């Protein structure tokens, strides 16, 4: 039988372990949140998505779309992190 201290130490190490989420999963969650927050913006309006060092880079097809996303960037970031229950995005940059 295992000691209670060993079980607690194992549980604690699993809780502190960082997730490695792939870019496609993050993209799916981001578009789900984007559809909820800004229903006028579609996937076709975003030309390029990239994740690097917890920074999410977006390139849009029109500056007006970039401005709309820029205004809601903090809310979008917080919603994505809440859905994933992990701090996967620290910053959203829009071009």
Pairing of strands 55-60, 91-94: parallel
Distance CA 13, CA 2 (A): 16
Return the CATH fold of 18-94. Answer: GMP Synthetase; Chain A, domain 3 (3.30.300)
What is the tens place of the pLDDT at every residue in 23-32?
888 888 889 9
51: confidence class by pLDDT, cuts 50, 70, 90: confident
pLDDT at 53: 87
Flag the least confident range among 19-28, 43-52, 57-66, 84-93.
19-28
Residue 14 has pLDDT above 60, yes or no: no
Q: Is the pTM of this model over 0.85?
A: no
Domain ranges of the chain: 18-94
């Amino acid at each position: 039988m295992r000691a209670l201290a060993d079980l607690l130490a194992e549980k604690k190490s699993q809780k502190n372990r960082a997730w490695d989420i792939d870019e496609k999963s993050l993209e799916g969650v981001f578009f789900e949140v984007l559809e909820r927050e800004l229903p006028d913006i579609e996937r076709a309006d975003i030309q390029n998505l990239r994740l690097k060092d917890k920074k999410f880079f977006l390139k849009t097809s029109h500056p007006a779309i970039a401005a709309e996303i820029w205004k809601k960037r903090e809310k979008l970031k917080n919603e994505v992190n809440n859905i994933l229950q992990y701090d996967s995005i620290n910053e959203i940059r829009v071009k």
